[in-house]
Amino acid sequence: MEALALDMTVSKRIETERTAAVTAAAKPAKVVARDVNVYYGEKHALKHVDVDIPDRGVMAFIGPSGCGKSTFLRCINRMNDTIPTCRVTGRITIDNRDIYDPELDVVQLRARVGMVFQKPNPFPKSIYDNVAYGPRIHGLAPTKADLDQIVTASLEKAGLWGEVKDRLLESGTGLSGGQQQRLCIARAIAVDPEVILMDEPCSALDPIATAKIETLIDELRTNYCIIIVTHSMQQAARVSQRTAFFHLGTLVEDGPTQQIFSMPRDQRTQDYITGRFG
């Protein structure tokens, strides 16, 4: 009986996933890129990328090293601005607003578009201060009580609260790798972003910590637009509803994850995901 009930939940869940993938494609996209090109000096690193990224879902970027997926990810919060030789052309909008508009405040943009990196990089501060940092500089918490509330809620959403609630004043760098990564996620969501970029967030973590982060991503997707770069095909298949494959600076194909991994349209995608070229 219990097994049957479990079966029902699983099949219901699969059904919901399927509808989610379909409706996600039908909804207006959160992030839209049109003819995006990136040059590092003379090198044309990203070529004519067009993609629509739906809200409240996870989109995975896959592709061999140097294919441009991280470069494109960094365009979405204008991190490439910090590289002097880097030039970006084309148009990227979030909610129809051009993020390369010269009048746009880049600091505000980065508050709306959070980022989590491959290597957990907590500040050498307390757990509390790591999470409180963003809300403080953006002036999101008028009182100490507000700030406490944001820190607690963010750590809860990041699935870390239970493990750290009694040692909030200890250093963030003293946590395990997986905990540090969840702390970084808590820090990213503390400023209430709309888009979360994750650049290989699990590649420095063990399988248990990876499973926790994946569970977290699955929960966060009901409220955020999440874009994840990953080298693990299985991870992309597990956590995302849509997947885009990059190769040699071009976006080869994107579509529902299920379709990309079972019946890709492009031969290059098939060769890459089945381990035929690198």
Partner 1 sequence: MHNHIVKSYDMEFAELDRLTAQMGGLAEKQLADAFAALDRRDSKLAKAAVASDKAIDNLEQQVQERAIAMIAKRQPLANDLRHIMTVLKIASDLERVGDLAKNIAKRALAVADETHPKPLMSGLRHMTELAMKQLKDVLDALSTLDAAKAREVWHSDAGLDALYNSVFRELLTYMMEDPRNIGLCTHLLFGAKNIERIGDHTTNIAENICYLVEGVAMNEERPKNDETSTMIVPNPSA
- Looking up tokens 């129809």, which residue turns up? 96
Both tokens of 212, joined, read 């926790």
Least CB distance from residue 99 to partner 1, whole Å?
34
Least CB distance from residue 236 to partner 1, whole Å?
10
Helices (H), the chain: 2-26, 69-76, 106-112, 127-137, 144-157, 161-164, 177-189, 207-220, 233-239, 257-262, 267-273
- Part in contact with partner 1 (CB under 8 A); list of ranges 46-54, 76-84, 163-171, 270-278: 270-278
- Looking up tokens 């494959």, which residue turns up? 245
Verify binding: residue 2, partner 1, rule CB under 8 A: no
Verify binding: residue 233, partner 1, rule CB under 8 A: yes
CA distance 169 to 131: 11
CA–CA distances in Å: residue 184 to residues 45, 57, 67, 94, 124: 28, 20, 26, 23, 12
Long-range contacts of 103-106 (CB under 8 A, 24+ apart): 106/78, 106/81
CA distance 124 to 130: 8
Among 237, 239, 251, 252, binds partner 1 (CB under 8 A): 237
Query: Measured from the CB atom, is 106 or 233 closer to partner 1?
Result: 233
- Part in contact with partner 1 (CB under 8 A); list of ranges 116-124, 159-167, 177-185, 267-275: 267-275
Among 102, 139, 162, 275, binds partner 1 (CB under 8 A): 275
Verify binding: residue 207, partner 1, rule CB under 8 A: no
Among 8, 22, 248, 263, binds partner 1 (CB under 8 A): 263
Query: Measured from the CB atom, is 128 or 261 closer to partner 1?
Result: 261
Query: Measured from the CB atom, is 36 or 252 closer to partner 1?
Result: 252
Verify binding: residue 261, partner 1, rule CB under 8 A: yes
Query: Measured from the CB atom, is 140 or 211 closer to partner 1?
Result: 211
CA distance 99 to 81: 12
- Beta carbons of 40 and 79 less than 8 angstroms apart: no
The footprint of partner 1 (CB under 8 A) covers 233-234, 237, 261-264, 269-270, 273-278
